[in-house]
Amino acid sequence: MTDDGVELVGGIEKREIVLVEPDPAWPARFARERERIVAALGPTAVRVDHVGSTSVPGLAAKPIVDIDVSVPDVEDEDAYLPALLAAGYELRVREPGHRLVRTPERDVHVHVCAAGSAWERSHLLFRDRLRHDADDRAAYAALKRELASRDWPSMNHYADAKGGLIAEITARAEAWAAHSGWRVADADPGTRP
């Protein structure tokens, strides 16, 4: 466990960062995984949302479908983790306010957070901002391509390197949300990108 309370189950993994062009199959993959998650968790899954770059039309991405699952209390692992593990997911990250399970093939990452949390809101707002704003989408794509050309000790280092631009886009997203009236309750949880 790190000083900031993050436990990487299995330790640090070095993985090559490969970006691919948008795949029209990503929404269908999300839909299949959503069904699997809802079948496993039932009403404990308050929301199941397609997030990350594969949820943004036209955006190059690592071929990993990211999904946010909002539950009543993320710290109450007994309410959801055994069911997700039984459904075939593997625990990868445990940290305050967030758990990550993934498929054994590592092509689907399921982020579990608390309904109404800052984690839930930030993922949905960032996704919706990229869907809405072509300039932010292009800037994010350019940075991702540049960073993917480097050798990283782990995927976490690559993700951290995007932090500055993510913070800038998030600030614009907050202003956009305030102006437009965007709310988590209005964010589309379905398969429509």
Distance (Å, rounded) from C-alpha 178 to C-alpha 109?
Answer: 30
- Mind listing the pLDDT tens digit for each residue in 71-110? 999 999 999 999 999 999 999 999 999 999 999 999 999 9
DSSP string, 115-132: TT-HHHHHHHHHHHHHHH
Is the pLDDT score of 15 beyond 80?
no
For 7-186, CATH number out of 3.40.50.300, 3.30.70.930, 3.30.460.10, 3.40.50.150 equals 3.30.460.10
Distance (Å, rounded) from C-alpha 103 to C-alpha 52?
Answer: 16
pLDDT score recorded for residue 185: 87
- Mind listing the pLDDT tens digit for each residue in 29-64? 999 999 999 999 999 999 999 999 999 999 999 999
Distance (Å, rounded) from C-alpha 52 to C-alpha 50?
Answer: 7
pTM, two decimals, is 0.90
Strands (E) across the chain are located at: 7-8, 47-51, 65-71, 90-95, 98-102, 108-114
